[in-house]
Structure 1
Amino acid sequence: MAAPRGERDPPDALQNRFHAERARRERRWQLLFTQYTVNPLRPVHMVTRKPMSWHENIQEPIDDEFLNLLHRAAVVPREKYSEPQTESQEIGWHTTPLVPFDHSDTRFYFPRQKTEITIHGYPAPREQKSKDQGESHR
């Protein structure tokens, strides 16, 4: 039966315990971060300064830690790590040839050949129809 006007039913005790336990568990895993830094694994996109803006032209001290993070983010993976970190990095990681390159060995060396056709391109066949042939088709 419904409660009279102006009075509310008491909250369900089971539902209240459920919400309290959930809030307690969520608070247990929450971390409070007070110091923020740039993620070194994400690329940083620099935006150019506005030359006429007064707040952009104020000289500020350079943060060495931030500068080191920027430089480390710009370094290629081969210089960062001694071995590939992912499967896709394994392709092309080792670039030194297994066999020394020799220009006199024709098995592995195929230089470009220059001929009359490759210099000027393929000449297009030009058919010059005589006036007689052109008139006879009409």
Structure 2
Amino acid sequence: MASTGAKGTNEKEQKNVVHQNAIWRETVHKEQHNQKLYIEFNYNPYKKPITVAGKPNEKPSKKEERGDEVFLQVYKKSQQTPNEKFEYPLTEAQEIGWYHSMQMDKDARADARLHHPRSFSEITKYMEAAWRQKEQENLQQ
């Protein structure tokens, strides 16, 4: 009979404070490395408020033209995938699927771990036909 000594159960339950602190420092370092302070705010030039129309022969100012360029840059940046924006995943949720390009290669279909084609056996073919027949009967009623 195995005895449940204090040493055996406490080793699994105790958390290593040094390792947890190292993980926390690494997380904080990642966050600070990618943190940016945005102090320049722009309006959406395509949703301008309705105002009195300008003079017919007036040319747009440099500020308005610059606003369009800045807006387009911000819009393009917002449409990028996280892989294009950052060097590495910032959260644990981003780690899932971060290296998806590896899975989408042409050779991925040859890899049995990634490619699971739909297959039919005699039983699945029979049940599919039975379900179709049942659906047709329900539609006719």
Q: Pick the TM interval, shorter chain.
A: 0.3 to 0.5
TM-score by length of 2: 0.36
Higher share of residues assigned helix:
2
TM-score by length of 1: 0.37
